[in-house]
Every structure is written in structure tokens, then in C-alpha cells.
């Protein structure tokens, strides 16, 4: 494709806190956007809020843990816009709180299906499109929970470690073609997910305060601040960046 052609980005979890802010950044660059999330209405709200329209956006309701849904969002993106230049493999769930002996196999499967199987399936179906184009950049959303252990969220922490493994495999497989694959690792970010994790802790206010004081910058991050880094990684500005892990955590992991 030549430089004047409009590029296309696919974002999963696009109706969520971080996904929506990434969509906003990519829309400012006038990319075509394929927005994927569980519910069509939630995606339509994002389309409306960002002032997108039928010619520059496509809403695809999909459960990223279902193979046929992933195949469908990839096919729909290619049918409508012809290419997938950027892929934000971002949808994720937190799962329940509880010590290892309290976590059920059901909870493990639930979290793994979305956070690991979903990310794997996204890669599995997007990579052939990018290989055919001989171009593209992929960004998986891991977490600080992909680098650190903490009590009480084993399925989530395991799943986000797995996303780092997937990122490294994909980056190594695709580097010979010039296709870049990176991971963003948010810390504690002000979205629905952190509100739920605070609730799950049983004492939301104290949990929030403890998180804030464990963060060198002394506060939660905003989804816009994560989207800014994601926007960079999904651009030619990051042309020599692959197999990298970008923490956006207010300094937490660097202590
Ligand atoms: N908020 C944080 O503090 C934080 C920290 C580290 C990592 N993350 C990661 O960032 C990503 C985005 O999270 P967020 O904070 O925006 O949370 P969020 O809950 O606001 O957004 C997640 C979005 O993913 C969608 N989703 C969930 N399951 C899905 C499925 N099976 N198929 C399709 N879509 C599905 C949800 O509907 C939601 O819109 C997640 O992968 C999360 O694990 C968040």
C-alpha cells in the first residue's frame, strides 16, 4: 500500500476504558477503525461519542474467546477496509478475587478464555492478513500483573504473564517480515476494571489508597495516558520497536 492510503486499525475491548481512549487517539490520526466488543450498543456509543461514521468505522460485536467471532471480526475488517495495519489485542477481564485455594477451575477457565485464548485467536487470525500485506503492527495489552505477583488474583496474573509470552513469540516470528509486536503493561488505571477490583477487595477505599501510595507518582493513571503510549507503538514513530514491554504504571515496577 502507498503512504496516502488510509490505514486501518482493529481494537478489541474498544468500548472499555482504555480501548475507547485508544480509539479516540487513532481517530485523530484519521485511521479507519474496526471496533470490537461484546455488545453492539456499547460500540455504537463510542462511535457516536468520537464522531465516527459508516465510512471510517465498523462496529463488530464479538466474544474474543470464540473462534468464529474472531474469524468474523477479521473477515469483516478486511472486507470493509482491505487491510489491517494496526491491531490492538486489548480485551480483557479481571476475574474473581481470592487466594489460590479459593480460586475455582471455572474462574481460571473464564479468565483464560478471554485473556489468553482471546489474545491467541486474535494473533492467529490477524497475522495471515499482515503477512500477506508484508506490513503491520500489533499491540497486546498485558498488565503490570504480567511481571509481578500479588496475592488474590492468580488467574488474572497468570493470564497476563501468558500475554507477554505470546507477544515474544509473535514478535520473533514476524520480525523477518518487518511486522512489529509489542505489549503495553498498564499499572492501576481509572477504569471500570479497577473499580471492580477495588470492590472485590472488600474495602475499596483502603485498597485504592494502598495502590496510590504504592505508586511513585502517587495516583492512578488515566486511560488517556495508556492510550498515548499505545498510539505511539501503533505508529511508524515506533518503527524500531518490537518484542518490547511498555509499562505505564506511574513508576511502580521501577522501585
Ligand atoms: N484498568 C487497569 O487498571 C488495567 C491495568 C492493567 C491492564 N489492564 C488491561 O487493559 C485492558 C483494557 O481494560 P480496561 O481497563 O479498559 O477495562 P474495561 O473493563 O473498561 O474494558 C475492557 C473491555 O473489554 C471488553 N470485553 C471483555 N470480555 C470480552 C470478550 N470476551 N470479548 C470481547 N470484548 C470483551 C469489555 O466489554 C470492555 O469493554 C484489559 O486487557 C485489562 O486487563 C487494565
Structural contact between residues 252 and 217, judged by C-beta atoms closer than 8 angstroms: no
Residue 4 has pLDDT above 80, yes or no: no
Domain that holds residue 77: 8-189+223-248
Q: Is 184 helix (H, G, I), strand (E, B) or coil?
A: strand
**Contacting residues for 69 by C-beta, under 8 A, at least 6 apart:** 62, 63
208 assigned to some structural domain? no
5 CA → ligand 1 middle, Å: 30
Atom number in ligand 1 closest to CA 188: 3
Instruction: Give per-residue pLDDT as tens, 83-126.
Output: 999 999 999 999 999 999 999 999 999 999 999 999 999 999 99
220 part of the active site:
no
Averaged pLDDT for residues 63-92: 98
Question: How many Å apart are CA 251 and CA 231, to the nearest integer?
Answer: 20
CATH of the domain at 18: 3.40.50.720
Residue of 20, 69, 72, 91 to mutate, ligand 1, most atoms within 8 A of C-beta? 91
The answer to whether 83 and 129 are in contact (CB under 8 A) is yes
- Structural domain contains residue 66: yes
Looking at the domain assignment, is residue 197 inside a domain? no
Residues 6 or more apart whose CB falls under 8 angstroms from that of 210 comprise none
Report yes or no on 117 lying in a domain.
Answer: yes
CA-to-CA distance for 143 and 140, rounded, in angstroms? 10
Is residue 217 situated within a structural domain? no
Within-domain flag for 12: yes
What is residue 142's three-state secondary structure? coil
Please write the tens of the pLDDT for every residue from 43-65: 999 999 999 999 999 999 999 99
Distance in Å, CA 14 to ligand 1 centroid: 9
pLDDT digits (tens, 9 = 90+) for 174-214: 999 999 999 999 999 999 999 999 999 999 999 999 999 99
Residue 203 lies in a domain: no
Task: Report if pTM > 0.85.
Answer: yes
Is a pLDDT exceeding 70 seen at residue 3? no
Is the pLDDT confidence value at 2 over 60? no
Counting the structural domains of the chain, the total is 1
- Contacts (Cβ under 8 Å, ≥6 apart) of 202: none
CA distances from 234 to 8, 96, 118, 231 (A): 11, 31, 20, 5
Active-site hit among 73, 86, 125, 156? 156
Q: Say if 3 falls within a structural domain.
A: no
Amino acid at each position: 500500500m502507498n503512504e496516502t492510503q488510509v490505514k486501518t486499525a482493529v481494537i478489541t475491548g474498544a468500548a472499555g476504558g482504555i480501548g475507547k481512549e485508544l480509539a479516540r487517539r487513532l481517530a485523530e490520526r484519521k485511521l479507519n477503525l474496526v471496533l470490537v466488543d461484546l455488545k453492539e450498543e456499547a460500540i455504537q456509543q463510542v462511535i457516536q461519542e468520537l464522531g465516527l461514521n459508516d465510512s471510517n468505522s465498523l462496529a463488530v460485536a464479538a466474544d474474543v474467546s470464540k473462534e468464529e467471532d474472531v474469524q468474523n471480526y477479521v473477515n469483516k475488517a478486511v472486507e470493509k477496509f482491505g487491510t489491517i495495519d494496526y491491531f490492538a489485542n486489548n480485551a480483557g477481564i479481571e476475574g474473581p478475587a481470592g487466594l489460590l485455594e479459593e480460586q475455582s477451575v471455572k474462574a481460571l477457565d473464564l479468565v483464560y478464555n478471554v485473556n489468553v485464548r482471546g489474545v491467541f485467536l486474535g494473533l492467529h487470525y490477524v497475522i495471515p492478513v499482515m503477512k500477506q500485506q508484508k506490513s503491520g503492527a500489533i499491540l497486546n495489552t498485558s498488565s503490570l500483573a504480567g511481571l509481578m505477583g500479588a496475592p488474590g488474583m492468580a488467574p488474572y496474573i497468570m493470564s497476563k504473564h501468558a500475554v507477554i509470552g505470546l507477544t515474544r513469540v509473535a514478535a520473533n516470528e514476524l520480525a523477518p517480515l518487518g511486522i512489529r509486536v509489542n505489549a503495553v503493561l498498564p499499572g492501576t488505571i481509572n477504569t471500570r476494571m479497577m473499580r471492580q477490583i477495588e470492590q472485590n477487595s472488600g474495602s475499596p477505599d483502603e485498597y485504592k489508597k494502598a495502590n496510590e501510595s504504592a505508586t511513585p507518582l502517587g495516583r492512578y493513571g488515566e486511560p488517556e495516558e495508556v492510550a498515548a503510549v499505545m498510539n505511539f507503538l501503533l505508529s511508524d514513530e515506533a518503527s524500531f520497536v518490537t518484542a518490547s514491554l511498555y509499562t505505564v504504571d506511574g513508576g511502580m515496577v521501577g522501585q
